[in-house]
Homo-oligomer: A and B are copies of this chain.
Amino acid sequence: MKSNNSKFPRVIIIGGGFGGIQLAKRLKDKEVEVLMIDRHNYHTFQPLLYQVATGALEADSIAFPLRKIFQHQKNFKFRVANVTQINSESNTISTSIGDFEYDYLVLATGSETNFFGQKEIEHYSMPMKTVPEALNLRSMILQNFEEAVMETDEQVKEALLNFVIVGAGPTGVETAGALAELKKHVLPSDYSELDFSKMKIYLVEGANRVLPPFSEQASRKAQSFLEEMGVDVLTNTMVDQYDGKVISFKDGKTIRTNNVVWSAGVKGAVIPGIDKAQIVRGGRIKTTTYNLIEGYNNIFAIGDVSYMEVEKFPNGHPGVAQVAIQQGQQLGDNLIRLINNEEVKPFDYFDKGSMATVGRNKAVVDLKFWKFQGFFAWLTWMFIHLLFLAGFRNKLVTLMNWIVNYFSQDRGTRLIIRRFNRQTMKEEAEAF
C-alpha cells in the first residue's frame, strides 16, 4: 500500500489524456500531491492517429512522454500501471503495481472503441484509439497489399484490396480520405503488379450524412470532397455482420473485404468499483456540474468518461478534446476551492468549433459564426493541430513530414515494423 506521507492531500488522476494533463498542470505549486497513473508512459495525440495508420507520420511524433511534460512540477509523480479496481470505502485504488491511497480521485480515462456487443465484428475489424492499434492497422494494410500481389484468386484479391470504414465521424472521414490519397499517389507505384481500379474505399454511416455532429454545410462539402477523391459514401447504412471476409449491411448489401476500420462509436472507459447506477448512456459516468460523480464526495470524472447533463447539453457534452481540456482546468480550480472550503463553480463549456480534414487542400471548419471549407480550412486544420500537438520536437517533425508529403504527394512511413497478427494483437491488448 502506497500511503500518502506528504502533509498535503493526494489527488490521484487516472489517465494522461487531454483532461488529465490540464488538471495536473492546474495543480502546479498548489498544496496538493498529484499522482498520475496511465497504462502508457506517453500522451497520445489521438486526432492524428489516422496519419500514423496510413503511413504519413511516425508514431513517435504524436506520442509525448508524460514525465517530460511535468519535469518541472515538484508536486507531481507518475506511475505506469493498469488500474483494476476502485475501492471507495477505503479511499484506495488497486493497480497492476499495488494499491494507492487517495484523498481525491479523478477518472480521466477517456473512451474506448464501442463494438456495441458484436463480438465477431470486434474480433475482425480494426479499432484505432491507441498508438499500437494505429501501428497494427498500418501493418495490416501493407501486409494485405503484399498478399494481394501474390494472390491469383480474383475474389480473394478483391477482398484484400477493398476497404470499408465504418462510422463517418472525423476519424472515419479522415481515414477514408487518407486511403484515397494512398490509392491515387502512392500504392500504384509501389505495387505496379496490381490493378488499382479494383481497389474500392467505402465509408459507411448509419446517419443520413457524414460528420453528423457538424453543420449540414460541412457535411455536404465533406461528402463531395470524398466523392471527388473516389470514396464510395454509403449513408443510412447499418452494419449487420462481418466475418473477416465479407461485411453485410442491414439493407442486405454485402462487400467482400479483409480491411474493416471500425470508427463507429466509443464508450466510456470505466474502471470497476464505481456504482453501476451512475453509469449511463455510452458507458459514461454521471457527474454533477463540477464533475463530482453522483453519490461520492471525493471521486470525479472528466472528459470522455464523464456524463454531465446541463441545459445546453441535455445528452451530455460531446466527446472531444476541448471538453476534456476545459473540464480538467475547471476541476483543478474547483479541487483547490474544495480543499479551502470555498464554493465550487459549475462547468460551462465554451465550444470553439469543430473541424475535419478530408485530403490535400480539403477540410471543413465549423465555427460558431463562420463555416468554411477548402484550402483555407485545410490550413486552419493543420495550424490548430500543430498548435495542440505536445512538444516542440513533435511539432517540428510533424510539420516537416507534412511539407514533404505535400510536395512529394508521398507517404514515407509505409513500414511493416512489427507484423500484424490478429491473435497476438488481441493478447497484447488484453495483457495490459
Q: A-side interface residues toward B, CB under 8 Å?
A: 40-42, 58-61, 63, 65, 67-68, 71-72, 77, 79-80, 97-98, 131-132, 135, 142-143, 146, 149-150, 189-191, 193, 391-394, 396-397, 400-401, 404, 408, 410, 412-419, 421, 424, 428, 431-432
Contacts and interface: CB of A to CB of B under 8 A. Distances in A.
A419 B432 contact: yes
Contact of A418 (B58, B72, B394, B428): B428
Contacts of A189: 71-72
A415 B41 contact: yes
19 contacts: A41-B146, A41-B415, A41-B416, A42-B417, A59-B415, A60-B412, A60-B413, A60-B415, A60-B417, A77-B193, A80-B416, A391-B412, A393-B400, A393-B401, A393-B408, A397-B401, A418-B418, A419-B431, A424-B424
A72 B189 CA distance: 8
Contacts of A410: 68, 393
A394 B419 contact: no
A421 B60 CA distance: 20
A406 to B, nearest CB: 12
Most buried by B among A77, A149, A431: A149
A174 to B, nearest CB: 20
Given A58-B58, A417-B135, A400 B404 contact: no
Nearest to A149: B79
A203 to B, nearest CB: 26
Nearest to A131: B417
Given A59-B415, A67-B414, A68-B190, 15 more contacts: A58-B397, A59-B60, A60-B412, A60-B417, A63-B415, A65-B412, A67-B191, A68-B412, A68-B414, A79-B149, A79-B150, A97-B150, A135-B417, A397-B397, A400-B400
